[in-house]
Structure 1
Amino acid sequence: MSVLCLRQVKKAFWIHTNGEVWEVKVKTYMAKPEEIKREWYLIDAKGKTLGRLASEIAKILRGKHKPIYTPHLDCGDYVVVINADKIKVTGKKLTDKIYYRHSGYMGGLKEIPLQRMLAEHPERVIELAVKGMLPKNRLGRKMFKKLKVYAGEEHPHQAQKPKKLEI
């Protein structure tokens, strides 16, 4: 029995063999919450470019690196980032990039340049970059809770035995 033609039309394959036509339905795999196994990863941010690092972290938090990725489920892993104070930015972003936040009151707009943010809250720089790359809904907030960022070398997650990940 030889297959002469195989083409996909609306999640179904039509197989033509020796004048016969068969229709084979294809079902999309959807992971179930109990099937998802979470791991812990340790990433050293020393000397890494901010945006490139943030996009890789967001991919791991969403679970897009796994073959069982399902868009409507949180199937991502935990990420611990150390040395957030030694992150690198390109161009003139250190002086030109400004973070904005508002208190909610009249005239309550605050502007903080990246240079000052790195000096005062280096972990917040990575958190804001990753948060902007996650979905803006309940699922995104749940994914964001799995990100742990620390300014120095030390972190309190040795008990979880995180795997060192090179990016």
Structure 2
Amino acid sequence: MTTLKRVQQWATFARIWHVFDASWQNPFDSAQLLKKYLLGLYKPIYHPMNDCGDHVIVINCSDVALPGEEWKKRVYFHHTGYPGGASWTLAHELHKKDPVLILKKAVYNSMDGNLQRRYTMERLHLFPDANVPAKLMGNVSNQIRQIRPIPKRLDHYTQKEIEEYPKLIDYPKDYILR
């Protein structure tokens, strides 16, 4: 085997490190996207019995956005294994205890039927904010694009942008808002 072919083969089977920003993203849609990278589904060498997945670093997990009334209505089940050890926790309570747990559970459940999902989850690195150790960020070579664009907050618009925005009506100077 030539040196060039050997390097191509190493590059084919190498694990790539990806980074994903989870702020304002639906964790269930994000889980489907992250599953492709964790399992290596996008690689041409993918096979269900082949462990060719990559590492994924997820930042800003504390800023995920559940749709509708999911924060109040979604319930997570946990059982300790002992009699009477069943407990149900609402999504907002679980998020308050550990901000990365909702996304972690969503990714874990998206890989249902995968016999190696416990080992695959070891390649998922979740952080509640953007503070990631430099040792991990030094490995990153790809950024996963967000599914939904992040809306711009009203207090982040400049006064010039506010004035130039098209208006439906101009109120008179002496108009009083109530």
Tell me whether the two structures share a fold, i.e. TM-score over 0.5: yes
1:150 is aligned to 2:127? yes
Partner SS state of residue 145, structure 1: helix
Match in the other structure for 2:163 = none
Task: Write out the 4+ residue segments of structure 1 that deviate beyond 4 Å after TM superposition.
Answer: 32-35, 135-138
| Aligned-pair CA distance for 1:164 | 2.0
Contact 2:16–2:140 under 8 Å retained in 1: no
CA distance, structure 1, for counterparts of residue 49 and residue 107 of structure 2:
19
| Aligned-pair CA distance for 1:159 | 2.4
Higher share in strand: 1
Cα 1:166–1:35, aligned 2, differ >3 Å: closer, same or farther?
A: closer
Following superposition of structure 1 onto structure 2, how do residues 1-167 of structure 1 map, counting pairs within 5 Å?
A: 36-136=13-113, 138-156=115-133, 157-167=136-146
Percent sequence identity over aligned pairs = 26
Note the aligned Cα RMSD (angstroms).
Answer: 2.0
CA distance, structure 2, for counterparts of residue 144 and residue 115 of structure 1:
23
| Matched residues, number | 136
Normalising by the residue count of structure 2, what TM-score does the alignment of the two structures yield?
Answer: 0.71
Contact 1:60–1:76 under 8 Å retained in 2: yes
Higher share in helix: 2
